[in-house]
Each structure stands twice: as structure tokens, then as C-alpha cells.
Amino acid sequence: MLNLNKMNSLFFFDSSNNKKYFWQELIDQIHDSKEFNPFCKSDDYFEVFKQIVISILLEEKITLLDSDFSHEEIFKLTGLEDYKSLQKGIDKTKLKHISTKSDLIRELKNCSDQWEITLYTSGTTGLPKSVTHKFQSFTRYVKISESNSNNVWGFAYNPTHMAGLQVFFQALMNGNSIIRLFELPNDIILSNIQEFNITHISATPTFYRLLDLKTKTFPSVLRIISGGEKIDLNKIRELNKAFINAEIRNVYASTEAGTLFASQGDQFSIRNELKNFVKLVENELHIHKSLLGQSGFLSDEWYASGDLVEIINQDPLVFKFLSRKNEMINVAGYKVNPNEVEEVIREINGVNEVSVFAKKNSVIGNIICCEIVKGSEELTEADIRKYLQSKLQEFKLPRIIKFVSQIKTTRTGKLKRK
């Protein structure tokens, strides 16, 4: 376990390659860089972070490409046959004032209004779309203070997507340490939380559901943030037991808007300063374009988020999220919310994780299917069906139940529905 002085000098640790990078090493590598490419594609998290920092210091625009984008995908997204040929020399005079961690953070705070970062939506509804943000929109909710200077962030997102970048900037601007947790084995994640005394974790509900938290407690963690998907109250209670000193926050964010709302349960209320920039149309959340980044697919004044909500109170507006609009399954004319079915299945002892999805059917349009990761070999399909029949209407019952060793997730760490 690193002592406090060592932690203050640690910038990033990646247990996938067992590499530690200290803040001074980040600064040295920035000075040693000879070329800059406005397109960044790398499966090395440190390299992505470094290129973002360099782009800010050079006042150069940068576009982040997912590390698993194929050549064909990149061409469709950018129109470029060879983005690597765009390398250009670095103006070293823009880096000469940086020799310490404090120097670097000072220069980052003075980021040019011209700097832009472009990233791509997760592509769950087709080809990913580009969204461009200014430094100000990315750091809108970054809290910089002395009280945050010793935070240690567990990094549980893809570094090229909005949620991961928001965690990165919160840690970067406070001079914090970042510990990779994303796409690592369960035992490594839990070991990292303990070894590095992680204080803050931001992740999807799927990430938290896949953690084996039984009989374990993590007193160093002071804040748990969940976002990107609907989280159920049972999981919040489980997180409270494991992270005994943590405040648990549920946030709503998107690639287009960043973080907009936060709550301590599953109900969100609209802050006064945002109430004129959010509206509901047929229970779908719409966000005013002034809160969004720049994107070619935003042609209207209001952006339809695709998120369906249940209204709890009209004035002030309080609501909770139900599902993505495109996730609703049509079964013989009935609309089925897969999140609702998943929540009921998770109540069953011996279920570790579940994914509910649709399969086309020529008679009724779709049938409900589910894949389940078992935590107990004693659990049977008959047990599951018996429980569900007492809890769900007939049209919501899965017709196909399959036991699997793991549930697939998207590039952003959310449940991947087939």
C-alpha cells in the first residue's frame, strides 16, 4: 500500500499491464513528445490521457477514437483513409513553463476557449455519432478545492467516452491519483480498491452488479457514483453495506450533455437553474440544445434523449428513469420494459446478473428472452419460472431462459442487449 506522499505523486496505475505513472513522469513524457496527432486511438489509457493533456497545452483540437474501431468504421466516421498521416510537430514554447504538477494544473485551468474535444456516442442505435465539447462544458461540474486534493479515483469507464472523461477531468484538475478498474477481473478490482485506498468510484450499475461484494467492506471509499443505466434500490442497499462510509449518488448524463442531474436514490429533481432547459414529451426526456455539445445530428432546439421517465411530481418536477425508448419490447401489442423484468429476476437468490432481450417471432412480434449468470448451482430454470409467475404478468414472462458464464457489456460498460 502506497503512503500518502506516494499517492499524491501517483498519476495513474493500470494493473492490466502493471504500470505505475507518476505525475512527474507524465510531465517528462509531455516534454519528450515530438509530434501530435489530432486523432487519438489507443488501448493504453495513459496514452489517451497524455494526448488529451498535450492537446490542451498546445491549444489543438483532438478527436478520440475507440481503441476497437475498425479501419472501416473510422473511414465511415471521419472520411479519412489514414488519420495517422496527420502527425505534426509540437511547438515546445507552449510547454516551457511546465516543470511541476502545480505548473501543469495551472496551465490546464487557463485552457483556451478555442480548444475542442470530439468523441463518439456509444452507437447502441446504429453508427456512432460525433459530439464536440469545449473545455468549459466538460469541466462544468468539476469541483476544485483543497478538500478534494487527496482523492483517489477508481476509473471504471472507457477513457474515450463522456463518463470516463468527466472522471478524468475531475481527478486531473485536483491533482488526484487515478486507478484503473474498468474491464478487469473482479478480484483485481477489489484488491485495487483496498491497496490504493480508493476514495471515489464512478461506474455503471452493471459494473457494480458484477462485483462480488458479499461479506466485504471498503471503508476508504467516501463516494459511490452510479450512472448510464437505471439502478434498482436493492443494489443501492447492497452498495451501502459494502461501502460503509460512502455517500451514494445516482447521476444522469449523456455524451451530448454531460452530467445534468444527481440524486441519492432513484428519483431525480430538476434544479431551479435547469427547469427551463428540460421538458417531457410523451414521457420522454428532452434537453435544450444550450446544454449540449456541438453535433451535426442536432437540428432542433430540443434534443430527444430517448430516455423514458415516470413522473413522480409535476411542480417541482420529480421523476425516475424507466428505460431507453428503443429498449421497449413489443410482445403482441404489449410494451415490455426489460429493466422491470431484470429487477424481478435479480430478486431471486442465486442470480448474480441477468440480461433481458427480445427475439423476433412471426406470430406475436417478439418473445422475451433472458441470459442469467448463476451464483448457485442449485438454482434451476423451474425455480426461476415459478418465482416470475407470481410476480409478472403473462406477457412479461421470458419464454427462453439460458444460463451463461458472463453477460456481455457495451464499450461503455452497460448491459449489451442482443
List, for residues 137-156, the tens digit of each pLDDT value.
Answer: 778 778 899 999 999 999 99
Q: For residue 1, what pLDDT is reported?
A: 56
Which tops the pLDDT comparison, 337 or 151? 151
**Does pLDDT of 21 surpass 90?**
yes
Q: Of 402, 410, 418, 372, which is closest to residue 68 (Cα–Cα)?
A: 410
Q: For the chain, first and last CA: distance in Å?
A: 41
Q: Which residue has the cell 432513484?
A: 266
Q: Which residue has the cell 410523451?
A: 282
Which tops the pLDDT comparison, 299 or 196? 196
Contact 368, 412 (CB under 8 A): no
pLDDT tens track for 318-335: 888 887 777 888 898 778
Give whole-number Cα distances, 344 to 191, 231, 380, 409, in Å.
31, 13, 16, 20
The helix/strand/coil state of 383 is: helix
Contact 406, 416 (CB under 8 A): no
Q: For residue 298, what pLDDT is reported?
A: 58
Q: Of 138, 117, 118, which is closest to residue 130 (Cα–Cα)?
A: 118
- Please give the share of the chain, as a percent, with pLDDT higher than 90: 53
Which of 48-57, 68-77, 284-293 has the weakest average pLDDT?
284-293
Q: For residue 53, what pLDDT is reported?
A: 97
Q: For residue 279, what pLDDT is reported?
A: 85
C-alpha span between 238 and 246 (Å, rounded): 12
Question: Which amino acid would we find at residue 47?
Answer: E
Question: Which amino acid would we find at residue 158?
Answer: N
| pLDDT grade for 232, boundaries at 50, 70 and 90 | confident
**Does pLDDT of 18 surpass 70?**
yes
Characterize the bridge pairing of strands 177-180 and 10-14. Answer: parallel
pLDDT tens track for 117-136: 999 876 554 567 888 888 88
**Does pLDDT of 300 surpass 60?**
yes
**Does pLDDT of 371 surpass 80?**
yes
pLDDT tens track for 346-359: 999 999 999 999 99
Q: Of 316, 208, 325, which is closest to residue 261 (Cα–Cα)?
A: 316
What mean pLDDT, rounded, does the chain reach?
Answer: 88
Task: Report phi then psi at 180, rounded to 5.
Answer: -70, 130
Strand arrangement of the beta sheet that strand 223-227 belongs to? 19-22, 10-14, 177-180, 152-155, 200-203, 223-227, 247-254, 258-263
Give whole-number Cα distances, 82 to 37, 54, 76, 79, 145, in Å.
12, 21, 12, 9, 42
What percent helix, strand, coil does the chain show, rounded to 5? 30, 30, 40
Identify the sign of the CA torsion 86, 87, 89, 91. positive
Cβ-proximal residues to 321 (8 Å cutoff; 6+ apart), any chain: 230, 252, 266, 268, 307, 308, 309, 310
Characterize the bridge pairing of strands 334-336 and 329-331. Answer: antiparallel
- What pairs with residue 263 in β-bridges? 250
Identify the sign of the CA torsion 2, 4, 6, 12. positive
Asked if the bond preceding 316 is cis, omega within 30° of 0, the reply is yes
Q: For residue 256, what pLDDT is reported?
A: 58
Q: For residue 332, what pLDDT is reported?
A: 80
Q: Which pTM does this prediction carry?
A: 0.78
Q: For residue 255, what pLDDT is reported?
A: 58
Which tops the pLDDT comparison, 65 or 8? 65
User: Could you tell me how many helices (H) and strands (E) the chain has, helices first?
Assistant: 12, 24
Q: For residue 364, what pLDDT is reported?
A: 83
Q: Of 238, 258, 236, 260, which is closest to residue 249 (Cα–Cα)?
A: 236
- Please give the share of the chain, as a percent, with pLDDT higher than 70: 92
C-alpha span between 280 and 307 (Å, rounded): 10
Q: For residue 33, what pLDDT is reported?
A: 95
| pLDDT grade for 220, boundaries at 50, 70 and 90 | very high
Cβ-proximal residues to 371 (8 Å cutoff; 6+ apart), any chain: 354, 355, 357, 402, 403, 404, 407
Give whole-number Cα distances, 96 to 31, 90, 99, 259, in Å.
8, 12, 8, 34
Domains of the chain: 4-266 (3.40.50.12780), 328-403 (3.30.300.30)
**Does pLDDT of 239 surpass 80?**
yes
pLDDT tens track for 198-215: 999 999 888 998 898 888
Which tops the pLDDT comparison, 163 or 172? 172
pLDDT tens track for 81-123: 999 999 999 999 999 889 999 999 999 998 888 899 999 876 5
